[in-house]
Chains A and B, each alone.
Chain A
Amino acid sequence: DQQVKQNSPSLSVQEGRISILNCDYTNSMFDYFLWYKKYPAEGPTFLISISSIKDKNEDGRFTVFLNKSAKHLSLHIVPSQPGDSAVYFCAASARGAQKLVFGQGTRLTINP
């Protein structure tokens, strides 16, 4: 049973436009959500996170939105840059739990 799902394996966006990556989860105990970015031949690096007490968190060009009723979160990147081309993983954890549960990733390609 996959508790965190990223249903789009890939996404292609024009440079300068907005990239929107989506993530759905099934476990209502999850209360903390993270996005990681991964380049080829490197490990995932932390990008941005959001707690369930918020519905939005912004950091520069990156904004994460959380819709608890829909069990859905999204990562917005604007404006998209070529260096944003990578695989993006959504992850979630439950209160008091140590384990991060990851989605399968979305490969984002920014076209010049």
Chain B
Amino acid sequence: ETGVTQTPRHLVMGMTNKKSLKCEQHLGHNAMYWYKQSAKKPLELMFVYNFKEQTENNSVPSRFSPECPNSSHLFLHLHTLQPEDSALYLCASSHAPGQEVNYGYTFGSGTRLTVV
């Protein structure tokens, strides 16, 4: 158990479906992140939340909609996705800037998403 829990672990969805990915951490972190990992590509940062506020959107299409109701939970709502959105979606958390020295993230195990 890494301290960051992601559900579901696997998800297959059609292009017209709506689904949500969930991330939960109990590490006392106040920053949470969504990353996308596609085959043979670097991890791509999607969104950053600090103290529940979105501080970065890395030009992510609007079919991905994040939600951060509190510092421990992060969601990624998905709708009308494309097959090329199939990837491993990783959630991470860390201490927020100014809270203390921010040395790295703790990652969840990811959700393997397949869009058919």
Contacts and interface: CB of A to CB of B under 8 A. Distances in A.
Contact of B97 (A46, A91, A98, A102): A98
Contacts of B4: 43
B2 A45 contact: yes
Interface residues of A, number: 25
B40 A44 contact: no
B42 A2 contact: yes
Contacts of A103: 42
Given A44-B90, A45-B2, A102 B107 contact: no
Contacts of B106: 46
Interface stretch (B43-51, B66-74, B79-87): B43-51
Q: What are the 8 tightest A-B residue pairs by CB atom distance, in nearest-first order?
A: A43-B107, A102-B43, A104-B42, A102-B42, A43-B109, A44-B107, A43-B108, A42-B109
Interface of A: 2, 4, 9, 32, 34, 36, 41-46, 49, 89, 91, 93, 96, 98-105
Interface of B: 2, 4, 6, 9, 31, 40-43, 45, 48, 50, 55-56, 90, 92, 94, 96-97, 102-110, 112
